[in-house]
Amino acid sequence: MKWLNQFTLVMRSNLTTLRESVENPERLLHQLVIDMEQELDSVRASVAEAVADEIQMRKRAARDRDEAESWMQRAATAMKRGDEAIAKSALQQKLSATARADRLAEEHAKQQAEVAKLQDAVHDLEDKIRQAKQKRTLLSARLSRANSTQKIHTALDRSHADSAFAQFNRLEDKVDRQEALTEAWERMDGKDPDARELERQFEAAEREQRL
């Protein structure tokens, strides 16, 4: 069916675009569903036309059968009157109407089968659209989570927490080094740091007494 081939081409084109572009996947998913819904509208229009043709064929077949029945009655009336020529012509008209009705009935049966296939295709497409919408919702949620996670990692990468801690560690190392050097010089003097402090206190007291 032409519409089905067209729909397949549209879907392949959209899927190719979806695979090739990563700028805005959520927007592409949304557009894919829109395209499917538009194609569904087109298919429904085709179904409506097919149903209209089927109804028209059924009515024409019924009219031809009514016409055949009418010619049969006219032929019978002519035979009663003894007018064989008119009766024969009426029978010919009856046969023609019956043949048309039979052909239309055959076409009507084929059209009914085609309508049934189209209606099944519509239901199948509706199911696919529902599934596509569900997938769109799930993928949108996944994309949202992925974007949020990416933003968090980006923020952490840009933060100065690690560099700040590294700077604190370097300062702490410098203080430790300075304290170690001070202690080393005091040990080289051969005096305990507490003793040196006590001497400084006595020296200060002696200076005050001299004043």
Residue-wise pLDDT for 58-106, tens only, equals 999 999 999 999 999 999 999 999 888 999 999 999 999 999 999 999 9
Q: Please give the average per-residue pLDDT across 44-60, as a whole number.
A: 90
Q: Pick the last residue of a domain from 141, 159, 177.
A: 159
Which parts of the chain fold into alpha helices (H)? 2-20, 25-81, 84-158, 161-188, 193-210
CB atoms within 10 A of CB 71: 20
Q: 186 and 124 share a domain?
A: no
Whether the per-residue pLDDT at 36 is higher than 80: the answer is yes
Determine the residue type at 123: H
The torsion angle over the Cα atoms of residues 99, 103, 109 and 113, rounded to 10 degrees, is: 170
Q: 96 and 116 share a domain?
A: yes
CB atoms within 10 A of CB 96: 14
Question: What per-residue confidence (pLDDT) applies to 162?
Answer: 59
Phi, psi of 15 (to 5 degrees): -65, -35
Q: 9 and 79 share a domain?
A: yes
Measure CA of the first residue to CA of the last residue in the chain; give whole Å: 120
Q: 107 and 50 share a domain?
A: yes
Quick one: 75 exposed, middle or buried, by C-beta within 10 A (0-12, 13-18, 19+)? buried
CB 126 within 8 A of CB 12: no
Q: Pick the last residue of a domain from 126, 142, 159.
A: 159
User: Picking from 25-34, 68-77, 93-102, 201-210, which range would have the lowest pLDDT averaged per residue?
Assistant: 201-210
Q: What is the pLDDT of residues 108-155, one digit of tens each?
A: 999 999 899 888 888 988 998 888 888 888 887 887 887 777 776 666
Q: 91 and 176 share a domain?
A: no
Of 66, 67, 90, the residue nearest 80 (C-alpha): 90
Q: 43 and 117 share a domain?
A: yes
User: Picking from 8-12, 24-28, 136-140, which range would have the lowest pLDDT averaged per residue?
Assistant: 8-12
- Enter the DSSP assignment of 23: S
Quick one: 112 exposed, middle or buried, by C-beta within 10 A (0-12, 13-18, 19+)? middle
Length of the chain measured in residues: 211
Boundaries of domain holding 192: 163-210
Q: 89 and 172 share a domain?
A: no
Whether the per-residue pLDDT at 167 is higher than 80: the answer is no
Number of compact structural domains in the chain? 2
Q: Count how many Cα atoms sit within 13 Å of the Cα of residue 69 in the half-sphere of its side chain.
A: 6
Q: Could you give the CA distance from residue 192 to residue 182 in angstroms, rounded to a whole number?
A: 12
Q: 185 and 146 share a domain?
A: no
Q: 110 and 167 share a domain?
A: no
Residue indicated by tokens 């899927």: 15
Q: 137 and 71 share a domain?
A: yes
Q: Pick the last residue of a domain from 140, 159, 178.
A: 159
Q: 43 and 21 share a domain?
A: yes
Q: 86 and 180 share a domain?
A: no
CB 125 within 8 A of CB 36: yes
